[in-house]
Amino acid sequence: MTEIVLGVGASHSTLMNTHWEETFHRDRAERFRDALGAARDALAAARPDTVVLVGSNHFRGFWLDLIPAFTLGVGECVANGESGTPGGPQPVDVELARHIADSLVESGRFDIAFSARLRIDHGQSHAIQYLLDGLDVEIVPLVVNMFAPPLPTLERCERLGAAVRDAVLAFPGDRRVAVIGSGGLSHRLPWPDWRDPHGDDEEFMVGAWLDGRENSRAYDARRREIIRAAEAAISPGFDEEFLTRLEHGELRRLTSLSTAEIEEAAGNGAQEVRSWLLMAALLDHAPGRRLAYEQLPEWLTGMAVAVVDPARGTEP
């Protein structure tokens, strides 16, 4: 019998790797890092065989020449390895991944894109680095478009999570499956709407996203400069409400928010809460447990870690 044994939501930031010594709020950073370790220990205790790993892509594996709303890795998976995150081939549970793709399409619920040679970036490899460290597991990578509008709605993401849950539970093999949602919470990246760039930096970014498939590293230095020059825009009120909803198993109540409302309230980087929502839906919105929330302006982001354990019952 296949069962879903644990969910984890965790923010990511490559600045954790590249600028740790320059982090001013070291106590906050250490609490966040320790919470990642506690979540990793919870995953180890749950003994998963496979992790459904949901995350974004920051124009390193997907480009403006082709960006599906949802892409499932069903074969090879290679991590980009930028900014000190793991690089190279990652182990994929191909049998389960292809079962999920088949089930989604044959049920008529989702005509999901798939990739037999998927490239992921720190939107997922950051979780591999910190949450799966030392664990002997395979992954099923699910990439959600969170940065190139039009974005899939939160309601659509929630429905996909429910559909993937049904597919996983119907898998005829014997799997213990965990789910990780990587990204968020509130932050604002100096990234334009690709449809309407203004100024040299925005024009450069859109050009990198359109033309970077063959020579992405040629754009890296200036991309990094633009990001490092950004000012933090963290929205603790949004983050607190989001985490409280997660703790009470009520994230589906946020699906009425539009993409524009999320950006206005918490920045364009907060679109990554779609990862958490998908994770929560895969856990059937069981109540979660917050392990950390820290405002880290040096990393531009409200950084959070939470665990959803279906074995804890329905009480938040």
Q: Per-residue pLDDT tens for 30-80? A: 999 999 999 999 999 999 999 999 999 999 999 999 999 999 999 999 999
CA distance 286 to 93: 25
According to the model, what pLDDT value does residue 56 have? 97
In which band, very low, low, confident or very high, does the pLDDT at 259 lie, cut at 50, 70 and 90? Answer: very high
Give exposure, 257-274, as e/b (b: 16+ Cβ within 10 Å): bebeebbeebbbbbbbbb
- The ranges assigned to domains in the chain are 3-189+230-311
Residue 201 scores a pLDDT above 80: yes
Confirm if 187 and 301 have CB atoms less than 8 A apart: yes
* Range from 8-12, 34-38, 171-175, 303-307 carrying the lowest mean pLDDT: 171-175
CATH placement of domain 3-189+230-311: 3.40.830.10
Which residues fall within 8 angstroms of residue 81, CB to CB, at 6 or more apart? 87, 88, 125
Residue 242 scores a pLDDT above 90: yes
Q: Please tell me what DSSP assigns to residue 251.
A: G
In which band, very low, low, confident or very high, does the pLDDT at 247 lie, cut at 50, 70 and 90? Answer: very high
In which band, very low, low, confident or very high, does the pLDDT at 313 lie, cut at 50, 70 and 90? Answer: low
Percent of the chain with pLDDT over 70: 99
Strand 138-144 versus strand 50-55 pairing type: parallel
CA distance 82 to 190: 19
In which band, very low, low, confident or very high, does the pLDDT at 218 lie, cut at 50, 70 and 90? Answer: confident
Nearest to 161 by CA among 308, 22, 14: 308
Facing residues of 295 across strands? 302
According to the model, what pLDDT value does residue 316 have? 44
Give the position of tokens 């909803």: 245
Nearest to 309 by CA among 37, 39, 112: 39
Residue 230 scores a pLDDT above 90: no
Residue spans of alpha helices (H) in the chain: 15-18, 26-46, 94-106, 122-131, 154-169, 199-211, 220-228, 236-247, 259-266, 273-282
CA distance 271 to 157: 11
Residue 312 scores a pLDDT above 90: no
**Which has the higher per-residue pLDDT, 223 or 241?**
241
Nearest to 301 by CA among 43, 56, 38: 56
Residue 261 scores a pLDDT above 50: yes
Reduced to 3 DSSP states, what percent helix, strand and coil does the chain have, rounded to the nearest 5? 45, 20, 30
In which band, very low, low, confident or very high, does the pLDDT at 7 lie, cut at 50, 70 and 90? Answer: very high
pLDDT tens digits along 102-156:
999 999 999 999 999 999 999 999 999 999 999 999 999 999 999 999 999 999 9
Tell me what the mean pLDDT of segment 225-237 comes to.
91
- Pair of tokens at residue 265: 């309230």
- What pTM does this model have? 0.96
* Range from 67-71, 79-83, 239-243 carrying the lowest mean pLDDT: 79-83
**What end-to-end distance do the CA atoms of the chain give, in Å?**
27
